[in-house]
């Protein structure tokens, strides 16, 4: 069962002891740093239940250490130095004391990190690893005891009170055995036993479940949701597959308990809610040429072009053997990960404070870790939610339940399969027409998330009322979000070639997508445009799109979304024949503007579109383009500075213009040109 952890905020692997170093400071500044560090630790609060005694002990010792450091700092020291030959006196701390201070600083840093880690860690994972954490506390205490033993108190000339304080701290650090609270061990045994029962398909006792979660202070839906997020982040700290599998089981367990004990939850509205990629302007190079979305796992195909793994895989599964951007036949379908680009995208996501889902980790987790406990917990959760939804008569209650299914359907393939197998789709049909905006959004988004699984696409297309319900939301949904997610569902379903043809033949689908692309906000427009682009990949579908006004729609949005608009126009012109070219004729000048001012990718698509229009549309098309002021300079600029494909298309475009200028109209109309690189040393002067 795969989990989708996010890389923002990044969860770093816990540092080892070797990662800490003492600061390079003067003696007194080092002691001041020790005083500050011990004071910071002493202000921390111990954990309320797990590791209560261990954390309290460390904090108490730090308070005493801060008093010790303060007393030492308030004294002036002059000691005899016989190591230089001839004796003498030196002002400052003895070297042996400074060495101890350096080591004490490292130990205190580790203590502070450990306390913060315990406080910010998942409570479930902390409970499962209780012996490990207790051992670390004990090891740090022993190291502290050793350093205090060798601290040269005589050379520091500590007075009797400070000496007694030092002896007290040393005595408190002299524990011989690791202490684990029996209550913590008993609670861990309860959880392990309950996980074992879930694996054996035995539904947990609700009273016992409530007792466990009360002890862990997971007392409401929000705290459980936070716990799930912490567990998902914890996966990134692990390299051991067994540990990952255990965490995945805990996620399923907490999710089940959250639903059973506290009911379904509603979306976050507080400041902790993370930004989405759609909320910011994503750089063109970070968008997949197929889906136009932020790439999560960029891969390179044999032509050298980069796509998101999920999009290009879907392209191959649809029967294509060509590169979507260049149209070239691929020599093979092997995919090479573009690690450099992936790292750049991850860095950009962190800077923009948006989540970056690691597809590679998901695939690895799903492929390597098979966890029956997690799967059975998911089935129990789905069964509980679906049964509750069937019986629900209150809109708000139904909304929370559907939102829970929506979130679960986004998690992984196992969850999507479980939800569909539990007959949730017929329930969604009734809710698509709801007058409650939130409920409608949650219902259509649940269907969208379910459609990611290939087997569910057939279920959605064949279950009575589901497709019609999605189309109706696309056309007249209560919110733009609902319409956009309906469009995204159409895009997902059209990944199957047979369904693509079927959807494109539906006038309501085409009109709904066109209207959304024209009138919706930017995010919803993009959802519609991606669906239109996918439908345009089928030659038969292009005819319906042209009839539905796709070219006119592109003209309307080209100023606001030039890259998306030109990409769609390129595909439509390429596959729509002379009818599409004739319809696109009024856009020649707009394409020339994109050629001049657009992004590299937009210019590339504009050049490719103009090549097709000029080669197949005849001399009238070429004359229209040649009449654009400065077009020759723009084409030369792309040939010199554009992308590889952009340079090739610009060279072909310039050759077409040159033949037209030479009066070779017949050859222009015949389309007898190929994409070749031109000799850029030749200067061509075109008429006005």
For residue 457, give both structure tokens: 């696409």
Q: Is the pLDDT of residue 271 over 70?
A: no
Are 416 and 4 spatial neighbours (Cβ–Cβ below 8 Å)?
Answer: no
Mean pLDDT of 154-159: 76
For residue 530, give both structure tokens: 């991606």
Q: Is 77 exposed, middle or buried (0-12, 13-18, 19+ CB in 10 A)?
A: middle
Mean pLDDT of 354-376: 57
Confidence at 194, pLDDT banded by 50, 70, 90: very high
- Helix intervals (H) in 236-356: 241-262, 309-317, 339-352
Q: Is the pLDDT of residue 501 over 50?
A: yes
Q: Is the pLDDT of residue 90 over 70?
A: no
Task: 133-137: list long-range contacts, CB under 8 Å, 24+ apart.
Answer: 133/51, 133/54, 134/51, 134/54, 134/178, 134/179, 134/180, 135/178, 137/51, 137/54, 137/55, 137/57, 137/58, 137/178
Residue 338: predicted pLDDT: 86
Least confident among 19-28, 479-488, 495-504, 563-572: 19-28
Closest to 542 in 3D by CA, of 494, 505, 586, 492: 505
Least confident among 261-275, 358-372, 412-426, 524-538: 358-372
Which residue reads 């608009």 in tokens? 565
**Is residue 428 within a helix (H) or strand (E), and if so which, with residue range?**
helix 425-432
Q: Is the pLDDT of residue 13 over 60?
A: no
Confidence at 15, pLDDT banded by 50, 70, 90: low
Percent of the residues in the chain that have a pLDDT greater than 70, as a whole number: 85
Residue 678: predicted pLDDT: 33
| Phi, psi (degrees; rounded to nearest 5) at 464 | -55, 125
Domains, in order of start, for the chain: 17-178 (no CATH), 284-307+319-352 (3.30.40.10)
List residues bridging with 337 in a β-sheet.
299
For residue 675, give both structure tokens: 């994409």
For residue 677, the tally of other CB atoms under 10 A from its CB is 11
Task: 657-664: list long-range contacts, CB under 8 Å, 24+ apart.
Answer: 657/614, 657/622, 657/625, 657/626, 657/631, 657/632, 657/684, 657/686, 658/684, 658/686, 660/619, 660/622, 660/623, 660/626, 661/626, 661/686, 661/687
Residue 12: predicted pLDDT: 44
Residue 353: predicted pLDDT: 65
Least confident among 100-104, 374-378, 670-674: 670-674
Residue 20: predicted pLDDT: 67
Percent of the residues in the chain that have a pLDDT greater than 90, as a whole number: 33
Confidence at 19, pLDDT banded by 50, 70, 90: low
Residue 682: predicted pLDDT: 29
For residue 369, give both structure tokens: 């870790």
Mean pLDDT of 451-468: 92
Start-to-end Cα distance in the chain: 65
Give the up-direction half-sphere exposure of residue 668: CA atoms within 13 A in the CB hemisphere. 24
Average predicted confidence (pLDDT) for the chain? 82
Using the CB atoms, write b or e for 452-484: b if 16+ within 10 Å: bbeebbebbbebeebbebbbbbbbebbebbbbb
Q: Is the pLDDT of residue 152 over 80?
A: yes
Q: Is the pLDDT of residue 274 over 60?
A: no
For residue 108, give both structure tokens: 């205190």
Are 51 and 184 spatial neighbours (Cβ–Cβ below 8 Å)?
Answer: yes
Mean pLDDT of 549-575: 89
Q: Is the pLDDT of residue 674 over 50?
A: no
Q: Is 655 exposed, middle or buried (0-12, 13-18, 19+ CB in 10 A)?
A: middle
């Amino acid at each position: 069962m795969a989990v989708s952890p996010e890389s923002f905020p990044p969860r770093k692997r816990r540092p080892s002891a070797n990662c800490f170093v003492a600061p390079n400071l003067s003696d007194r500044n080092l002691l001041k740093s020790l005083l500050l560090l011990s004071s910071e630790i002493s202000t921390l609060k111990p954990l309320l239940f797990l590791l209560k005694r261990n954390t309290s002990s460390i904090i108490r010792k730090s308070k005493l250490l801060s008093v010790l450091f303060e007393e030492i700092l308030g004294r002036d020291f002059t000691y005899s130095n016989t190591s230089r030959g001839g004796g003498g006196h030196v002002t400052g701390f003895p070297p042996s004391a400074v060495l101890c201070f350096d080591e004490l600083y490292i130990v205190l840093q580790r203590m502070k990190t450990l306390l913060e880690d315990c406080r910010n860690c998942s409570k479930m994972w902390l409970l499962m690893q209780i012996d490990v954490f207790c051992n670390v506390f004990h090891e740090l205490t022993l190291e502290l005891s050793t350093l205090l033993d060798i601290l040269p108190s005589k050379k520091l000339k500590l007075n009797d009170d400070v000496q007694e304080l030092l002896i007290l701290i040393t005595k408190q650090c002299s524990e011989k055995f690791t202490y684990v609270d029996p209550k913590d061990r008993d609670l861990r045994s309860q959880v392990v036993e309950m996980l074992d029962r879930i694996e054996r398909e035995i539904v947990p006792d609700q009273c016992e479940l409530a007792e466990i979660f009360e002890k862990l202070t997971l007392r409401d839906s929000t705290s459980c949701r936070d716990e799930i997020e912490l567990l998902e982040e914890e996966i990134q700290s692990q390299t051991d597959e067994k540990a990952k599998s255990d965490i995945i089981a805990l996620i399923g367990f907490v999710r089940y308990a959250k639903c059973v004990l506290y009911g379904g939850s509603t979306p976050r509205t507080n400041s902790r809610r993370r930004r989405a990629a759609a909320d910011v302007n994503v750089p063109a190079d970070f968008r997949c040429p197929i889906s136009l979305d932020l790439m999560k796992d960029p891969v390179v195909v044999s032509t050298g072009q980069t796509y998101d793994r999920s999009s290009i895989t879907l392209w191959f599964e649809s029967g294509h053997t060509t590169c979507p951007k260049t149209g070239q036949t691929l020599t093979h379908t092997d995919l090479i990960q573009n690690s450099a680009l992936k790292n750049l995208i991850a860095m950009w996501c962190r800077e923009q404070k948006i989540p970056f889902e690691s597809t590679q980790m998901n695939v690895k987790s799903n492929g390597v870790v098979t966890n029956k406990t997690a799967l059975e917990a998911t089935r129990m959760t789905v069964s509980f939610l679906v049964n509750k939804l069937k019986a629900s008569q209150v809109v708000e209650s139904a909304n929370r339940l559907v939102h829970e299914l929506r979130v679960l359907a986004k998690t992984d393939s196992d969850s999507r399969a479980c939800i569909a197998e539990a007959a949730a789709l017929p329930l969604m049909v009734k809710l698509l027409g709801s007058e409650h905006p939130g409920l409608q959004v949650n219902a259509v988004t649940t269907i969208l998330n379910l459609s990611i699984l290939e087997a569910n696409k057939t279920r959605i297309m064949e279950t009575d009322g589901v497709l019609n319900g999605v189309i109706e939301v696309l056309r007249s949904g209560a919110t733009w979000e609902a319409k956009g997610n309906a469009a995204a569902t159409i895009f997902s379903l059209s990944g199957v070639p047979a369904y693509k043809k079927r959807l494109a033949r539906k006038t309501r689908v085409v009109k709904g997508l066109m209207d959304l692309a024209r009138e919706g906000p930017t995010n919803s427009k993009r959802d519609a445009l991606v669906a239109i682009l996918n439908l345009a990949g089928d030659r038969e579908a292009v005819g319906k799109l042209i009839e539905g006004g796709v070219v006119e729609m592109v003209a309307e949005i080209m100023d606001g979304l030039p890259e998306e608009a030109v990409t769609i126009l390129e595909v439509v012109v390429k596959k729509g024949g002379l009818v599409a070219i004739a319809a696109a004729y009024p856009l020649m000048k707009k394409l020339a503007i994109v050629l001049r001012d657009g992004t590299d990718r937009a210019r590339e698509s504009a050049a490719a579109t103009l090549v097709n229009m000029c080669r197949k549309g005849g001399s009238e098309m070429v004359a229209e383009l040649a009449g654009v002021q400065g077009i020759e300079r723009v084409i030369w600029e792309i040939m010199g500075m554009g992308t590889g494909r952009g340079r090739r298309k610009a060279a072909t475009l310039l050759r077409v213009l040159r033949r037209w200028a030479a009066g070779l109209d017949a050859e222009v109309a015949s389309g007898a040109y190929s994409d070749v690189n031109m000799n850029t040393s030749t200067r061509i002067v075109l008429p006005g």
